[in-house]
Amino acid sequence: MNRKVSFFLQVGIFFLPMVFSWFLLRNGYSKRARAIAFSWLAFTLMVGLLGNEGVIYDTFITILSLGVFIIPIIAVVKLFLRVKNGATEKTADRNAKQPETFVSSQTSHVNLSHQSNKPEDNSVTSASWSGSYSKAEEAMISGLIEFKETMALKQFEKLREKFGVFLNILNHQFDNDEMTHGRYLNSTEQLYLGVVDKLQRYVLLRRSVSGIDLDYINERLQDQHLHEDSRNALVERLTLHKNALTEMDGILAINEQVMTRIDIVTSSLGAIQTREGAGGMDLETALQEIQVMIGRTEKYDMAK
């Protein structure tokens, strides 16, 4: 067979697997590895094209033949190591991310002064004052933060602190199985949950008027040629916004009253040992005031 025909036949047989090997090396490996593979292919092809006789031709065929075996082996070994190391890295990354995900899920809720552990219900218990929030509280807090209602957030934190102090003193003064303990706990729990409900209402009111653009409305109302129907519609939106703000202010006002009543009850509880004669009367009066506050919280009768 003619040496040129033999040359191109061998190049055709050997070159294809080497190109495949080069693509394996090229996929994701370093620039140095790709440069070596490409240089080797260019060198062998150049030698074969420039000299097809004698020692140069034989040397080219020898190098080409060795490359057919060596480069695929290197490529397959590196590919195997890459896959193995990739699986190991993915496992390590997954294990490393698990605690991070757990931490982010615990801190994704607002941390006023405590951390959320998500209790099963909304009831007031000794454990719930260790820093955990109920789901209702978390939803309410998220809404307040969304609308940047800083005052309402601070108020809730203060209310929560006062309820926590009250419960600690109640547990100190009475045993859990005492009837008196249950009476004050149940009444105060109702009052606290009423506050949470009203702050949820506060968030809903804020959300309901979030789409009302006061600047736009006021600018439109200054138009002397504004159609009467448009003017009436704009005024109606202003009224809706004003009514919502009025109710929101009412919620904050009654919460201030609740905090005062809780301070009174807490003070009465703490005075039992030092003023035994008056302590019982103060507590009964405080309990009655709590019941009144519960009713006012539910009905929103702030005038009485």
Instruction: Give the separation between CA 297 and CA 191, rounded to whole angstroms.
Output: 8
Instruction: Give the separation between CA 119 and CA 138, rounded to whole angstroms.
Output: 11
DSSP state of 210: T
At residue 253, the pLDDT reads 93
Contacts with 246 (C-beta within 8 Å, 6 or more apart), sequence order: none
Instruction: Give the separation between CA 17 and CA 4, rounded to whole angstroms.
Output: 21
Residue where the block lists tokens 């390590």 = 92
At residue 72, the pLDDT reads 63
Sign of CA dihedral 125, 127, 131, 137: negative
Instruction: Give the separation between CA 206 and CA 218, rounded to whole angstroms.
Output: 20
The model's pTM: 0.53
At residue 57, the pLDDT reads 58
* 36, amino acid identity: I
DSSP state of 131: S
Mean pLDDT in each 10-residue stretch from start to end of the chain (304 residues)? Answer: 55 57 55 60 59 57 62 65 55 41 34 38 44 84 94 93 91 87 85 89 96 95 94 96 96 91 84 50 65 62 43
For the chain, how many helices (H) and strands (E)?
Answer: 9, 0
At residue 75, the pLDDT reads 64
Instruction: Give the separation between CA 237 and CA 244, rounded to whole angstroms.
Output: 11
The answer to whether 200 touches 139, Cβ cutoff 8 Å, is: yes
DSSP symbols for 251-276: HHHHHHHHHHHHHHHHHHHHTTTT-H
* 99, amino acid identity: P
